[in-house]
Amino acid sequence: MTFHEELLAQAGELVNKSQPGATQADLRRAVSAAYYALFHLLVSEATLNWKRDSSRDAFGRMFDHGLMRKASQRMADSNRSPMAGEDSEVVRKLRKVAKGFVQLQQKRHLADYDNGTRWTPFEALQEVSIAREAFAVWATIRSEDLAQEYLVSLLIRPRE
């Protein structure tokens, strides 16, 4: 099992473990783990394109959460990226992954830093479900050129 798969499994276990007597620690960690699962999935997919196995871990450390959020927001925004000529189903699926990334990052910030927010098991489960769906959708488009271009966009700061 890969690290990102382990994180996704952990998120599910934390949500399921806490159902009857939900602790905020379990629910918050579930949301955080769901985000990091998707983050590490995308980083892992991008680093697989790096030719040298011995450099992949160092390459993976170059990814920045803020740049990834901005790239995902651009991808998710149908007004900013119409993507003329692309397969509309691939575009739809890729936008689902990108939207999931943006939402999970926002919710992870709440879960990790906003002690005034109380999480319910249902809310935490919704976030874990978004990560699971993003994993499933990604598996269907990962080899598409547009998906590979998205991975590159996660690392490169666009020229203004």
pLDDT 10s digits, 77-119: 887 665 777 888 999 999 999 999 999 999 999 999 999 999 9
pLDDT 10s digits, 122-137: 999 999 999 999 999 9
> Token pair for residue 96?
């689902």
CA distance 134 to 12: 14
Residue type, 45: E
Rounded to 5 degrees, what are φ and ψ at 111?
A: -65, -40
pLDDT mean across residues, the chain: 91
Rounded to 5 degrees, what are φ and ψ at 118?
A: -105, 130
pLDDT, position 13: 93
pLDDT, position 19: 64
Is the pLDDT at 160 greater than 70, yes or no?
Answer: no
pLDDT, position 18: 57
**Percent of the chain clearing pLDDT 70 (strictly above):** 92
Q: Are 4 and 37 in contact (CB under 8 A)?
A: yes
Is the pLDDT at 54 greater than 80, yes or no?
Answer: no
